[in-house]
Amino acid sequence: MHWTPCRALHSCLLLRSDFAQHRQSPLSSPRQAPVARPNALGRKSRTRAKNTPRQRSVVVYRRKHSPVPRCSFQKQDASLRVHVGAKCYGLTDGFRSGCGILADRLTCGTSKTAQGKSRLTCSGLIASGTSLHDALRYLGLWGSDRMNEPTFGAVQCLSPAGIHTMRYTQWGDPRNPRVLVCVHGLARVSRDFDRLARALCHQYRVICPDVVGRGQSDWLRDPAHYMIHQYVGDMVTLIARLDVEQVAWLGTSMGGLIGIGLAGLRQSPVSRLVINDVGPRIEFSAVERILGYVGQPVRFATVEQAIEYNRSVAAGFGMRDDTEWREMTLSVLKADGDGFVFHYDPAIRLPWQAVTPQVMAAAESATWRLYDAIGCPTLLLRGENSDLLSPATAAEMSERGPRARVVSIPGVGHAPMFFDPAQIEVVRSFLSEN
């Protein structure tokens, strides 16, 4: 198997194991200081002081043509070096060094590669206590880039029509047991949560799926299965893939209904629930408005045309400037020949076409039963000008079932998109409560 070192700007750390000794360096004691002695070649070498551990070298590698980083042990004299590339992709999940953090000295310099080329190096002292992964994050040699950039995964799910693949975006440490699942609305995609995920990925492993029929996920063979109960089943499969017992859940519009459906089940894995501008009772006029543009055969010659279209049909999102409108439009566009189309299956609208006020009344009753069964702390966000979630429904949700805490988001309709840091802070504050 071919391995190549991480490219450019390497950094290295020197390992020591005196962290438990009050964070004091053995080099601070004269009797433990290493002694320089000439070797057979006339060069000076350093011998280990008494009672100091022998150290090894570790070099981080990545497999050629693979975005997944790997690491490999390599012994070099008595020092431990960890070489990480300029992008600091990170270490494999299974790697632990048993070392921790001291970092009371951090120096920079140059060294020679095996090919004789100069490279920049950065070295600091670390000691026993935690993993090398945490030491790299502490020193800013890994977390600053890797933690703020997404990785991607996929899971196979089952519908009555067969197997389909649901893909998801992942932010943060893949070993973090604190997981936040963020699910988008009817005609949106996982990248709606990029800003929120970047803000929370140091506390949570943030998972943002493309619900089947949207974004990078497969389209269903039978559009009749684009239903909430199918989506709930897919999410159960996703959570099983994540290998965690509990998750926090944030769902916008359709994602909120999926969250209610999952949190209302017995033995639900949802430990905290954020419902974004939706409830068991949905205003029929809002459904008619949404069906007026979702799944319509629209095509755009330029990105600017798509942005202007989104401004007209999704004004309730409350984007604050042209940059935000461009970002939220590009996330759901895909190139198609010499133009652009929205990145979802137009057939997702089909189950909604049969919706009547009578059908909605029956669905409302079933959703209230699920909502009343929710036992976890619940936050309900409502756009101040929302036409989908009425103030009366929000008030009722605060008085029954989990008695959701209701927060109104000013200047927004359906639905808040978490581009505004103030909206993100509301979610962060709720999730961090004991």
Task: Give the model's pLDDT for residue 252.
Answer: 98
For the cut 70, the answer to whether the pLDDT of residue 355 exceeds it is yes
Give the confidence band of 148 by pLDDT, cuts at 50, 70, 90: confident
403: left (phi over 0), alpha (psi -120 to 50) or beta: left
Q: Tell me the pLDDT tens digit for each residue of 253-280.
A: 999 999 999 999 999 999 999 999 999 9
- For the chain, give the percent of residues with pLDDT over 70: 66
Burial status of residue 78 (CB atoms within 10 A of its CB: 0-12, 13-18, 19 or more)? middle
In whole angstroms, give the CA distance from residue 114 to residue 111.
10
For the cut 70, the answer to whether the pLDDT of residue 345 exceeds it is yes
- For the chain, give the percent of residues with pLDDT over 90: 64
Burial status of residue 235 (CB atoms within 10 A of its CB: 0-12, 13-18, 19 or more)? buried
Task: Give the model's pLDDT for residue 115.
Answer: 54
CA distances to 86, 139, 147, 149 from 144, in Å:
11, 10, 6, 9
For the cut 60, the answer to whether the pLDDT of residue 291 exceeds it is yes
What single string gives the DSSP state of each residue in 70-115?
EEEE---TT---EEB-TT-----TT----B----S-EEEEEEE-TT
Q: Tell me the pLDDT tens digit for each residue of 87-128.
A: 333 333 222 232 222 222 233 344 455 555 444 333 333 333
Side-chain half-sphere exposure of 26, counting CA atoms within 13 A: 19
SS3 68: coil
Q: Tell me the pLDDT tens digit for each residue of 372-420.
A: 999 999 999 999 999 999 999 999 999 999 999 999 999 999 999 999 9
Rounded to 5°, the CA angle 126-129-135 comes to: 45
For the cut 50, the answer to whether the pLDDT of residue 131 exceeds it is no
Helix (H), strand (E), coil (C) string for 234-260: HHHHHHHHHCCCCEEEEEECHHHHHHH
Strand pairing class (333-336; 339-342): antiparallel
pTM of the model: 0.69
For the cut 90, the answer to whether the pLDDT of residue 141 exceeds it is no
Task: Give the model's pLDDT for residue 354.
Answer: 84
Contact of 284 with 305, CB cutoff 8 Å = no
User: Domains along the chain?
Assistant: 3-23+53-146 (no CATH), 151-431 (3.40.50.1820)
Residues forming beta bridges with residue 429, ordered by sequence position: none
In whole angstroms, give the CA distance from residue 189 to residue 172.
19
Sign of CA dihedral 406, 411, 413, 419: negative
In whole angstroms, give the CA distance from residue 290 to residue 287.
5
Residues forming beta bridges with residue 248, ordered by sequence position: 180, 272
For the cut 60, the answer to whether the pLDDT of residue 312 exceeds it is yes
Tell me which amino acid residue 412 is: V
Contact of 423 with 317, CB cutoff 8 Å = no
In whole angstroms, give the CA distance from residue 152 to residue 168.
6
Task: Give the model's pLDDT for residue 146.
Answer: 59
Give the mean model confidence (pLDDT) for residues 304-324: 96
For the cut 50, the answer to whether the pLDDT of residue 434 exceeds it is yes
Side-chain half-sphere exposure of 42, counting CA atoms within 13 A: 0
CA distances to 178, 367, 383 from 242, in Å:
11, 27, 31
In whole angstroms, give the CA distance from residue 389 to residue 391.
7
Sign of CA dihedral 266, 270, 272, 274: negative
Give the mean model confidence (pLDDT) for residues 349-377: 94
Give the confidence band of 149 by pLDDT, cuts at 50, 70, 90: confident
SS3 157: strand
